[in-house]
Structure 1
Amino acid sequence: MSNPPSHDESAAPGNLTEIFARLTDVPLDHVDKLIDTTQSVYADLNRVMEHPYWADLVFHQGAALRALREARAELDAFRAEAVGARNTELGVTVATGVIGEEREYAERDESKRELVERLLRPPRQGCACRLYVWDRPYENEQEPGPYSGLRIVTSADDEMGVLNYTEEDEQGQLSSWQTRSPAPDSRAPVLRFDLGSPLTFPTDSVLGFAELRAALDEFVSTGECPRSVDWQRARWGQ
Structure 2
Amino acid sequence: MTAVQQYVTAVLDGERRHAPADTADELIDTALATERERGAFLYVAASPFDGAVEHRPGHQMRVNVDETRRWGAISYVAEGVRGGAWNTCNPAPPAATTVWFDGSTPTAFPRSAVLPLAEVREAVAEFCRTGLRPTCVRWQPGHWY
Q: TM-score, normalised by structure 2?
A: 0.88
Alignment-derived partner of residue 96 in structure 1: 9
- Indicate if the aligned counterparts of 1:180 and 1:206 stay in contact, CA closer than 8 A: yes
Equivalent residues of 1:180, 1:232 under 8 A apart: yes
Root-mean-square deviation over aligned CA pairs: 2.2
2:77: which partner in 1?
Answer: 166
Verify: 1:209 aligned to 2:113, yes or no: no
Q: 1:114 aligns with which of 15, 20, 26?
A: 26
**Partner secondary structure for residue 17 of structure 2:** strand
Q: Secondary structure at the match of 1:179?
A: strand
Q: Percent identity?
A: 30
Unaligned runs of 5+ in 2: none
- CA 1:150 to 1:198, structure 2 compared with 1: closer, same or farther past 3 Å? same
**2:49 equivalent in structure 1:** 138
Gaps of 5+ in 1: 1-88
Structure 1 residue aligned with 2:86: 177
Deviations 1:119-143 (CA, angstroms, capped at 9, x unpaired): 1114x54441100000000012433
1:229 maps to 137
Higher helix fraction (1 or 2) = 1
Q: Aligned letter for 1:121?
A: A
How many residues align? The count is: 144
CA contact (8 A) 1:126 1:191 kept: no
User: Partner letter of residue 103 of structure 1?
Assistant: R
Q: Give the 4+ runs in structure 1 shifted more than 6 A.
A: none
Structure showing the higher strand proportion among its residues: 2
Kindly name which structure, 1 or 2, has the bigger radius of gyration based on alpha carbons: 1
Structure 1 residue 186 corresponds to structure 2 residue 95: yes
TM score, norm. by length of structure 1: 0.55
